[in-house]
Structure 1
Amino acid sequence: MVVLNWNGADDTIRCLHSLDAAALETPFRVLVVDNGSSDGSVGRIRREHPDAEILELPSNLGYGGGNNAGFRRAEEMGADEVLFLNNDTVVDSGFALPLLTVLRGEGGAGAVVPKIFYMANPSLIWYAGGEVSLRSGLVRHVGLRRHDGPRFSRPGTTGYATGCCVGLRVGVVRALGGFDEAFGMYAEDVDLSLRLRAMGLRIVFVPSSMVWHRVSGAFEGRLLRKLWLRTASTVRLLQKHGTPFSVPLFLLLLPLRLVPAAAGMFFSRLRREESV
């Protein structure tokens, strides 16, 4: 289990507490990768979790760079599978076994992803699979801001894995070359998913595994910056994987998508504030 931390000790400590409970049911090792924090995170995490293995990086390498460093360390530790987990999450005590069972089984599963809910509204879905259209640049979560129900509880192949929580076999990550660090922030997970699918492997949604996510914890109060980063990363994604018409069509449709995206982020922030 690789948990990436950057100036987020509160989130990481809460995440580790939930992982402690989960490891009692399905044993696994946790590696915290500190991405050059400057807020004393490492000391606080060590005081709360003295047995935690922490990889300290000298500077912030971003999502892709930090997780790639964590993967290399997990490989050195002899891992066969690796689960990448955002630090601003908590997990169900039984979340690991369903993911590992599918990942270790037959059927060409290259990656596995759980059902993910909003932490501020625990019955509201954040991710129940992913859809991606390289023609128009549409990248979206299935079930976003919908209440849970049978339609979101069916396991099966999905379009892309969210980097919030994704499990892969070590050999697959090695063959893919890890995350593309050129993205910097956002779309690294979609890029990895598309490359994995090009290898003939499937991304499997496993709804019996559940996680709760404090959405956008790293971008509190910076809505415009988040929208800009997401847009720039999608353009890079389409340049890499799309057709010659993908970027122009994406930019043409962008105003129609920014309004609901901004509204969704705004209301998610309100829910977090109301839950405090």
Structure 2
Amino acid sequence: MSRKVNILILNWNGSKYLVDLIQSIKAINYNNYKITLIDNNSTDDSLLKIKNEKVNIVSHKSNYMFAKGYNKAIIDLKNDDSDFFLLLNNDTICDKNILDAFSEALDKYGDDCIMGPKILYMNDKKKIWYAGGNFGLFNFFVSHRGIRKKDEKSFNKDCLTDYITGCCLFISKKNYLKLNGFDEKFNMYGEDVDLSIRAQNLGIKCYYISNARLWHYVSASYGGNFNLVKIITKISSLFKLMIKYPKRIILGLK
């Protein structure tokens, strides 16, 4: 029997993207999954847009941002019978083989790991946004492997990676609960890096899975690539990571 996956979409005012994302999920070849929308008290017509879709909805009373938004929802889903969660940004489009690729990778690497896909820019579909993550001074402390580079053969191999981006993160329910979810001290950005480090400290490996693919409208929730709020938030999160994990983030040491 295939592993049961709950696809968790965190949403805040993502009406513009939700229908296309859900349509892409419905085209997935894998048959043992369900969709849960976690809504962070949207003020747009997000919920109206998907009222006719077969989607479970968790509605928060406030905008809990990324970490608490997921954590609180998963507590509410404590009786959920899924084996794995696929955490997914609302401004993404899934390849039809994404869950098959993760399932095949689990057969190869085992269930005790966290996985992330190859993520490409939606507006430039042959350009990499994420093909794994790196730590260290010479990687600007935290960076995406391959970012803004053309998708080529060098990105077509699975590999261990320093961290999995929260844009699309595949994790067992068991391990998410074991890690107590995301650290809510990170409001936005950095919580995925922190989760990955804590996981590796417990022997849970992080893998980039090249055959799993996703397209991303980058930074849609913050209004584009070069947004002042986004920059300030990223810098704040980076300092938190550097204080918490100086050897890992600054020096890239295990």
Give, in angstroms, the shift of residue 181 of structure 1.
1.0
2:153 and 2:73 map into 1 onto residues whose CA distance is 36
Q: Give the alignment's Cα RMSD to 1 decimal.
A: 2.2
Equivalent position amino acid for 2:209 in 1: V
Report the counterpart of residue 95 of structure 1 in structure 2: 98
Superposed, 1:164-175 pairs within 5 Å as 164-175=167-178
1:206 and 1:239 map into 2 onto residues whose CA distance is 30
Superposed, 1:230-241 pairs within 5 Å as 230-241=234-245
Distance 1:62 1:131, change over 3 A: same
Report the counterpart of residue 24 of structure 2 in structure 1: 18
Report the counterpart of residue 270 of structure 1 in structure 2: none
Report the counterpart of residue 207 of structure 1 in structure 2: 210
Q: Are positions 1:29 and 2:59 aligned together?
A: no
Q: As a proportion of its length, which structure holds more strand? A: 2
TM-score normalised by structure 2 residue count? 0.89
Does the CA contact (< 8 Å) of 1:108 and 1:201 recur in 2?
A: no
Equivalent position amino acid for 2:230 in 1: K
Equivalent position amino acid for 2:195 in 1: L
Give, in angstroms, the shift of residue 97 of structure 1.
1.2
Question: Radius of gyration: which is bigger?
Answer: 1
1:134 and 1:108 map into 2 onto residues whose CA distance is 31
Residue segments in structure 1 that go unaligned for 5+ positions in a row: 250-276
Report the counterpart of residue 231 of structure 2 in structure 1: 227
Equivalent position amino acid for 1:16 in 2: I
Distance 1:85 1:125, change over 3 A: same
Report the counterpart of residue 261 of structure 1 in structure 2: none
1:109 and 1:122 map into 2 onto residues whose CA distance is 31
Report the counterpart of residue 46 of structure 1 in structure 2: 51
CA-to-aligned-CA distance 1:122-175 (integer Å, 9 cap, x gap): 010000111012798610001100111110111121110000001011111111
1:113 and 1:223 map into 2 onto residues whose CA distance is 25
TM-score normalised by structure 1 residue count? 0.83
Superposed, 1:224-263 pairs within 5 Å as 224-243=228-247, 246=250
User: Percent identity of the aligned residues?
Assistant: 33
Report the counterpart of residue 8 of structure 1 in structure 2: 14
Report the counterpart of residue 4 of structure 2 in structure 1: none
Report the counterpart of residue 113 of structure 2 in structure 1: 110
Stretches of 4+ aligned residues off by more than 4 angstroms: 104-109, 134-137
Equivalent position amino acid for 1:120 in 2: N
